[in-house]
Amino acid sequence: MEEVWGRGRWELVSELIASAYIGHVTTGDHYGPEGARIEIHDYRRAFPDLTVTVDDLLAFDCHVVRRFTLRGTHSRPILGIRASGQPVVLPAIAVDRLARGKLVESWSQVDMLSLLR
């Protein structure tokens, strides 16, 4: 989260995400490392000063629950929401499934309500 989302270290995506990855997000499913790159790119484009804080991390068997917070200045549109130019805080949660040390499936939800205020 912190390296790829927060620092834009794209080279890590293929190391961390399986080729059969499915990311279930509000806008629809993303597939493979490239699908994850597209989602991350959209957020980093909308919030060029994006920072990520992992607030909680819980693991059981092959599942990991991440509670995290995205922070940044809303500089470009995202999900059809016009840029406000204001700093925002976006709480989020994800449930991930891992296999052989790689992310194979994620269900995530980012609270975008602050963008609509």
Report which of 21, 9, 24, 3 is spatially closest to residue 95, judged by C-alpha positions.
24
Specify the fold of 2-116: Nuclear Transport Factor 2; Chain: A, (3.10.450)
Residues in the chain: 117
Question: CB within 8 A of 67, min separation 6: which ones?
Answer: 54, 55, 56, 57, 91, 92, 93
Q: Phi and psi for 50 in degrees, rounded to 5?
A: -55, 130
Per-residue pLDDT tens over the stretch 61-78: 999 999 999 999 999 999
Dihedral angle of Cα 21, 67, 78, 38, to the nearest 10 degrees? -20
Domain assignments of the chain as residue spans, ordered by start: 2-116
pLDDT in tens, 6-63: 888 888 999 999 999 999 998 899 999 999 999 899 999 999 999 999 999 999 999 9
